[in-house]
C-alpha cells in the first residue's frame, strides 16, 4: 500500500500536469470557475465554461475534474457537491455518475488513510464532543458494524467530514469503511446527478429537496433494521444468561 507521502506526491504531480497542460483561460472564464457559486446562474456559468473546454480538451477536462474532486474530498475542502452537480450535464448521467461515485470513494479512502497517519490529535482536539459521540456509537454497535456504518452514511447523524476523518481512529476496519461507503454514497450521487440534469431549473446551491430527504431517511431506517435485530437478540441472550445465574444462586 502506498504511504501518505507517496499519495500526496502522486496527487501533486497529477495536479501540476493538469495545470501545465490546460489551455489558457480568459479572465472571464477564471472569474466563473475559481469562486464558490452562490446561485443557480453562477453554477450554469461554470457549466458553460467547462462544457466548452470538453469540446477541445475532453480527456484533460476529465483528468482535471477527477483530480480536483479527489483532492476536495481527501483534504475536506468544500466544493465537491458543486462538481457532483456539474458532472451530469457536462459528461452525461452515466459517465457523470461513475466519475462522481468513483472520485468520492477514492477521496474518502485517501482521507481515511491520511487521518490514520497524521490526524489523531487534530481531529480529537477540533471536534471533541462529536468525536466522542461518534466513538461511543461505533463501540455500542460493533456487533453489527457494517449495517450501522451504512446507516451513518445514509443519515445525517454524524457529519460526513467527521466520518471520513475519524473512522480509522475509532477502529472501523478499512474493508468495512470502503464497502459501506460504496453502497451508502450511491443515493447521494444519484441525487446530485439528477439535480445537475435539471440545471436549467436550479435556483439555489446546496441542500437536498424534501422528497429526496424522505427517500434517504427510508433507506437509513432499512439499513438500521439489522442492527436493531442483532442488538435485540444480544440483549435477550444476556437477559437469559442473567436469569440462569440468578436461578443457580
pLDDT tens digits along 193-234:
988 888 877 665 555 555 655 665 666 666 666 666 655 444
CA-based nearest residue to 171, from 202, 135, 117, 133: 135
> What is the reported pLDDT for 211?
60
Confidence of residue 241 (pLDDT cuts 50, 70, 90): very low
Percentage of the chain lying above the pLDDT 90 cut: 30
Per mean pLDDT, which range of 47-56, 108-117, 206-215, 235-244 is the poorest? 235-244
The confidence score (pLDDT) of residue 240 equals: 43
Average pLDDT over residues 128-149: 89
What does pTM read for this prediction?
Answer: 0.81
Per-residue confidence (pLDDT) for residue 209, from 0 to 100: 56
**Closest C-alpha among 10, 99, 7 to residue 61:** 99
Q: Are 34 and 54 in contact (CB under 8 A)?
A: no
Q: Which of 10-19, 116-125, 221-230 has the lowest mean pLDDT?
A: 221-230
User: What value does the mean pLDDT take over residues 98-119?
Assistant: 90
Q: What pLDDT band is residue 107 in, cutting at 50, 70 and 90?
A: very high
Contact yes or no for 6/62 (Cβ under 8 A): no
Supply the angle between the helices 145-154 and 210-248 in degrees, to the nearest 10.
150
Secondary structure percentages of the chain, helix, strand, coil, to 5: 80, 0, 20
Cell of 49: 465554461
Could you read off the pLDDT of 172-192 as tens digits, one per residue? Answer: 999 999 999 999 999 889 988
Provide the pLDDT for residue 235: 46
Across residues 13-34, what is the average pLDDT?
79
Amino acid at each position: 500500500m502506498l504511504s501518505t507521502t507517496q499519495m500526496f506526491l502522486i496527487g501533486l504531480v497529477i495536479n501540476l500536469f493538469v495545470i501545465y497542460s490546460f489551455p489558457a483561460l480568459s479572465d472571464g472564464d477564471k472569474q466563473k470557475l475559481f469562486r464558490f457559486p452562490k446561485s443557480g446562474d453562477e453554477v450554469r456559468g461554470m457549466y458553460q465554461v467547462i462544457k466548452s473546454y470538453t469540446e477541445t480538451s475532453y480527456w484533460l477536462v476529465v483528468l482535471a475534474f477527477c483530480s480536483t474532486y479527489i483532492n476536495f474530498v481527501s483534504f475536506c475542502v468544500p466544493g465537491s457537491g458543486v462538481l457532483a452537480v456539474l458532472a451530469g450535464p457536462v459528461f452525461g448521467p452515466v459517465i457523470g455518475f461513475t466519475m462522481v461515485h468513483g472520485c468520492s470513494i477514492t477521496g474518502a479512502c485517501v482521507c481515511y488513510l491520511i487521518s490514520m497517519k497524521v490526524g489523531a490529535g487534530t481531529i480529537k482536539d477540533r471536534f471533541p464532543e462529536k468525536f466522542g459521540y461518534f466513538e461511543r456509537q461505533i463501540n455500542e454497535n460493533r456487533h453489527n458494524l457494517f449495517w450501522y456504518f451504512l446507516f451513518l452514511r445514509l443519515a445525517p447523524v454524524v457529519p460526513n467530514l467527521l466520518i471520513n476523518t475519524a473512522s480509522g481512529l475509532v477502529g472501523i476496519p478499512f474493508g468495512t469503511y470502503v464497502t459501506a461507503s460504496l453502497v451508502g454514497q450511491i443515493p447521494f450521487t444519484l441525487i446530485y446527478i439528477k439535480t445537475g440534469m435539471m440545471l436549467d431549473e436550479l435556483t439555489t446551491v446546496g441542500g437536498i429537496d424534501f422528497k429526496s430527504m424522505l427517500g434517504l431517511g427510508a433507506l437509513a431506517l432499512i439499513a438500521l433494521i439489522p442492527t436493531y435485530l442483532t442488538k435485540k437478540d444480544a440483549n435477550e441472550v444476556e437477559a437469559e444468561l442473567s436469569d440462569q445465574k440468578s436461578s443457580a444462586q
